[in-house]
Amino acid sequence: MLKVDELITDEIKTVGISGHILPDGDCIGSCMGLYLYLKKNYPAVRTDVFLEEEPPELKIIKDIDVVRHDFKTDVERYDLFFLLDVEKTRTGGAEALFDKAKTRINIDHHVSNPGCGDINYIRTSASSVCEMMCEVLDFERMDTDIARTIYTGIVTDTGMFHYSCTTPLTMRLAAKLMEFSFSASDLVEHVELERRFSQNKALGFLLTRSSLQFDGRCITSYIEYSEMQEQGFCVQDLDGAVSQLNLTTGVLCSLLAHGDADGRAKISLRSKSDHINVAKIAEAFSGGGHIRASGCSYQGSAKDAVKAVLPHVEELLKTLPE
Ligand SMILES: [Mn+2]
């Protein structure tokens, strides 16, 4: 098993860390958890973190201001470079820094990544890279800030420990982090449950307009671009709405469409089971994604987009075993 402490020899003077584009809780949690760990235990080593701008709810992460959003550095070649939660083509600006580094380390849990470093630790059964950080870092050398930061990524990548990626090992490692005295409950509430006022209003709008199709097995909703402007909603305000629709009792899949400024509609699809592959529907409209979560777009209004996609949903529901 890879141990970070074994990599930080006396020769190591500079360390670079990066993750994926549109960084999420796991990406930022693992990058910043590693940064804080190195800062605490190896203060003489210069450690730089390169990531795109973080979402607002993650600004609470300790020392988040050190992140270099411009991917610029005066270090010619890093002695070590860590790529976390990603393979190198989706880093958004760190690929060249990674390629030039003397030793490249890749830690990831994505099935699609075979490993792109000199040293790779890929464990696809891990809920999150933050879970893997519990293995590669030493609990004895952590502090409360490090534990809280890593815990953040486990919480977000497991959907607060409810996605099927959550294993007994995930819980055991998370429990060890919890022993550092931080409020896990406040953290979950802030990072996962709280919504902006405008986001709550948008959710209310979409829930009010939602309707059931095919004997309640599918739920749909939509909002036109002109309505978003009238109501003062931005695209980010629609985040999480399709997942909420999908939590309706009896529903097997959900469909949400919203208009955009170019007269197109963006469609999000969710399914509750692996038997309903919504990626297939998205592919019929030149989109894609995963079995249970996919997306595509449509030339026309959001209302028409729902109409256009529904026959595909009906076809898919017909294939279900009785
Ligand atoms: Mn992840």
Residue 267 and residue 300 in contact, taking contact as beta carbons nearer than 8 Å? no
Cα 117 from Cα 171, distance rounded (Å): 28
Asked if pLDDT for residue 135 goes beyond 80, the answer is yes
Nearest partner of 49 among 40, 147, 33, judged by Cα? 33
Nearest partner of 289 among 271, 304, 305, judged by Cα? 271
CA 288 to ligand 1 centroid distance, Å: 19
What local confidence, expressed as pLDDT, does residue 321 receive?
A: 78
Q: pTM here? A: 0.86
Q: Hey, what amino acid is at 44?
A: A
Asked if pLDDT for residue 74 goes beyond 90, the answer is yes
Asked if pLDDT for residue 59 goes beyond 90, the answer is yes
Asked if pLDDT for residue 322 goes beyond 80, the answer is no
CA 282 to ligand 1 centroid distance, Å: 23
Cα 27 from Cα 20, distance rounded (Å): 7
pLDDT band at 152 (very low <50, low <70, confident <90, very high): very high
CA 131 to ligand 1 centroid distance, Å: 9
CA atoms within 13 A on the CB side of 101: 30
Residue ranges of the chain assigned to CATH 3.90.1640.10: 4-193
What local confidence, expressed as pLDDT, does residue 148 receive?
A: 98
Asked if pLDDT for residue 318 goes beyond 80, the answer is yes
Domain 4-193, second-level architecture: Alpha-Beta Complex (3.90)
pLDDT band at 280 (very low <50, low <70, confident <90, very high): very high
What local confidence, expressed as pLDDT, does residue 296 receive?
A: 95
CATH number assigned to the domain covering 199-318: 3.10.310.30
Nearest partner of 12 among 92, 68, 79, 64, judged by Cα? 79
Asked if pLDDT for residue 141 goes beyond 90, the answer is yes
Q: What is the pLDDT of residues 186-234, one digit of tens each?
A: 999 999 999 999 999 999 999 999 999 999 999 999 999 999 999 999 9
CA 231 to ligand 1 centroid distance, Å: 34
CA 285 to ligand 1 centroid distance, Å: 27
Q: Hey, what amino acid is at 189?
A: E
Asked if pLDDT for residue 241 goes beyond 90, the answer is yes
CA 314 to ligand 1 centroid distance, Å: 33
Residue ranges of the chain assigned to CATH 3.10.310.30: 199-318
CA 84 to ligand 1 centroid distance, Å: 8
**What is the three-state SS of the chain?**
CCCHHHHCCCCCCEEEEECCCCCCHHHHHHHHHHHHHHHHHCCCCEEEEECCCCCHHHCCCCCHHHCECCCCCCCCCCCEEEEECCCHHHCCCCHHHHHHCCEEEEEECCCCCCCCCCEEEECCCCCCHHHHHHHHCCHHHCCHHHHHHHHHHHHHHCCCCCCCCCCHHHHHHHHHHHCCCCCHHHHHHHHHHCCCHHHHHHHHHHHHHCEEECCCCEEEEEECHHHHHHHCCCHHHHCCHHHHHHCCCCCCEEEEEEECCCCEEEEEEEECCCCCCHHHHHHHCCCEECCCEEEEEEECCHHHHHHHHHHHHHHHHHCCCC
Give the residue-averaged pLDDT of 78-97.
Answer: 94
pLDDT band at 164 (very low <50, low <70, confident <90, very high): confident
CA 133 to ligand 1 centroid distance, Å: 11
CA 108 to ligand 1 centroid distance, Å: 7
pLDDT band at 1 (very low <50, low <70, confident <90, very high): confident
CA 109 to ligand 1 centroid distance, Å: 7
What local confidence, expressed as pLDDT, does residue 289 receive?
A: 81
Rg of the chain over CA atoms, in angstroms?
21
Asked if pLDDT for residue 175 goes beyond 80, the answer is yes
Cα 54 from Cα 31, distance rounded (Å): 12
What local confidence, expressed as pLDDT, does residue 288 receive?
A: 87
